[in-house]
Amino acid sequence: MLPSLSAEIREQVPLKDYTSYKIGGPARYFCEPHSIAQLKDALYFAEEHTLPVYILGCGTNVLVSDSGVNGLVIRVAADFAYLSFQDGVVQVGSGLLLDHLVTALAEEGLGGFEVLAGIPGSVGGGIFMNAGAYGVTLGDFVQESTVMDFSGIIRRLPHAEHNFSYRHSIFQEKDLIVLETLLKVEARPRSELLERIAATKEKRRRHPRLPSCGSTFRNPPGTYAGKVIEELGLKGTRIGQAQISPDHANFIVNLGGATAADVYALIRLVRKEAAARGITLVPEVRLWGEFPESEPC
């Protein structure tokens, strides 16, 4: 364990314990800050030691290399999970679970994005990826966010500067951390909202239950990634202990003991077969660490 001012920096922390895939080697350094001050301290530690910084929420959209990551992983979690309401505007901390947000709003008769119920991950992660379903995205409701850059400078980011598009935001382009966000929500009957949430979660219960990152690929224009993969005849294909789910072709699941190399081999196989038919499949999952012939993520 290394001290970095007020932030506790741990060494060689297995990241498989912090990802939905249950896969991944260790982080060279790991920190879970409990305050803005500790977050700044962690960033200062990374700058002082010339370390790349990785921001982790719930780890639901990350595939960590078997060799881990040679940098500082900062996990923004429980201490950044809060929620308040005022005049149709919601102030929410980036560490709050997205599903908890949707349900808590519905209980207050507020909503608009019930179709996001059941999506795993944090609000910060949802903003990073502009999480969405059935034509609705979290970014549609973001008014502004409070962000910190890797130098520790805090500022407000208006909606227009989030650069939201399909599964994309400015946070994939620049070194910025979401601290909290303001969401514009709609007043609706509580019973109606809760019914919509229940219906959405019922659909999600059909998704594979084995460890995965959810959807592996973004949907190409005019079709669905799962449909493409199924038509390629790859549904159920297995490499090592990783498998393209027989239940949903856009899920690559960990059968138990899968390595990141197993999952990545399936990703490459799917992309190669799709490309042979003129279809480009872009991974939705983020790759952390070293992968053979991988592009930086």
Show the beta-strand stretches assigned E in 225-271. Answer: 238-239, 242-244, 252-254
Question: Is domain 2-75 classified as CATH 3.30.200.20?
Answer: no
Element (H, E) at 287: strand 286-288
pTM for this structure? 0.92
* Predicted pLDDT of residue 203: 87
CA atoms within 13 A on the CB side of 268: 13
Where are the domain boundaries for CATH 3.90.78.10 in the chain? Answer: 225-288
* Predicted pLDDT of residue 87: 79
Where are the domain boundaries for CATH 3.30.465.10 in the chain? Answer: 79-204
Where are the domain boundaries for CATH 3.30.43.10 in the chain? Answer: 2-75
* Predicted pLDDT of residue 1: 45
225-288 adopts what CATH topology?
3.90.78
CA distances in angstroms from 159 to 151, 163, 182, 185, listed in the order given: 22, 8, 10, 14
Strand order in the sheet with 238-239: 238-239, 242-244, 252-254
Identity of the residue numbered 287: L
* Predicted pLDDT of residue 293: 67
- Buried (b) or exposed (e) across 164-196, using 16+ Cβ within 10 A? beebbbbbeeeebbbbbbbbebeebeeeebbeb
* Predicted pLDDT of residue 3: 45
* Predicted pLDDT of residue 4: 43
Residues in CB range of 179: below 8 A, 6 or more apart? 36, 80, 93, 94, 145, 146, 147, 148, 154
78 close to 97: Cβ distance less than 8 angstroms: no
79-204 — its CATH code? Answer: 3.30.465.10
Q: What is the CA radius of gyration of the chain?
A: 19
* Predicted pLDDT of residue 292: 81
With left for phi above 0 and alpha for psi between -120 and 50, is residue 212 left, alpha or beta?
A: beta
With left for phi above 0 and alpha for psi between -120 and 50, is residue 256 left, alpha or beta?
A: left
Q: pLDDT per position in the chain (297 positions), as tens?
A: 444 457 799 999 999 999 999 999 999 999 999 999 999 999 999 999 999 999 999 999 999 999 999 999 999 988 999 999 887 789 999 999 999 999 999 999 998 989 999 998 999 999 999 999 888 999 999 999 999 999 999 999 999 999 999 999 999 999 999 999 999 998 999 999 999 999 999 988 888 999 999 999 999 999 999 999 999 999 999 999 999 999 999 999 999 999 999 999 999 999 999 999 999 999 999 999 999 865 444
* Predicted pLDDT of residue 7: 78
61 close to 213: Cβ distance less than 8 angstroms: yes
- Active-site positions read 167, 215, 284
Span between the terminal Cα atoms of the chain, in Å? 28
* Predicted pLDDT of residue 206: 83
